[in-house]
Amino acid sequence: MTIVYNIFYNLAKLFARMFFTMRVVHPERMVESGPLIIAVNHSSFFDPPLAGICSRRGVYYLARNTLLKWPFFGPLFPAMNVIPVERDGNDMSALREVIKKVKAGHGIVLFPEGTRSKDGLLQPARAGIGLVIAKTGAPVLPMRIFGAYDAYPKNAKRLHLSQITVVIGDPIHFTPEEISNPSRETYQNLSDRVMHAIADLQIS
């Protein structure tokens, strides 16, 4: 972790504990070394840091490039392992950077749904994460966040105090045969499998 990442990592942990009494179910399943794709449902602006603080190592995130223009925080985002992406999501340079980071042995947080849910319910997966899986062969760690939508949904004007629970699933390992056919159908099938694994996670 960079110094900046470490500072905000610990601040995010403190914030989550103070305001959301956050708990993590099955923290022992977190993969702390080697290439990893952390696949998470997406319903709140808080999802990236909530997923990130479940890992003891620094992980990477995708974020709209417009966030880098924010006063004060914007210039700090690169030091927080943020990979900027064009707003429309069709940014091949960002995708290449994601693949590069994973192949280099890093972990990255990705949202199979592609965008935040408007109602807090799970959305269908898009093919993007499947492409990253096929290009890297990295294991995928499914993760589901409960309560983040109630705390801070899309377009919210203020924060709501809410219990947040993060459930971590077992890593998914893909065989060479499963990722060998480079096609949109293959990518979508991989994405769907990951999304089903997220949907299966429940608070125990």
Q: What is the pLDDT of residue 75?
A: 85
Q: What is the pLDDT of residue 201?
A: 98
**pLDDT tens digit sequence for 120-142:** 999 999 999 999 999 999 999 99
C-beta separation of 108 from 59 below 8 A: yes
**pLDDT tens digit sequence for 6-21:** 999 999 999 999 999 9
Q: What is the pLDDT of residue 90?
A: 64
C-beta separation of 102 from 136 below 8 A: yes
**pLDDT tens digit sequence for 153-190:** 887 788 888 899 999 999 999 999 999 988 999 999 99
Domain ranges of the chain: 3-200
In whole angstroms, how far apart are CA 202 and each of 11, 162, 167, 198? 27, 17, 7, 9
Whether the predicted pLDDT of 1 surpasses 80:
no
CATH class of 3-200: alpha beta
Whether the predicted pLDDT of 146 surpasses 90:
yes
Distance between CA atoms of residues 158 and 201, nearest Å: 28
C-beta separation of 154 from 16 below 8 A: no
Distance between CA atoms of residues 29 and 19, nearest Å: 25
Whether the predicted pLDDT of 88 surpasses 70:
no
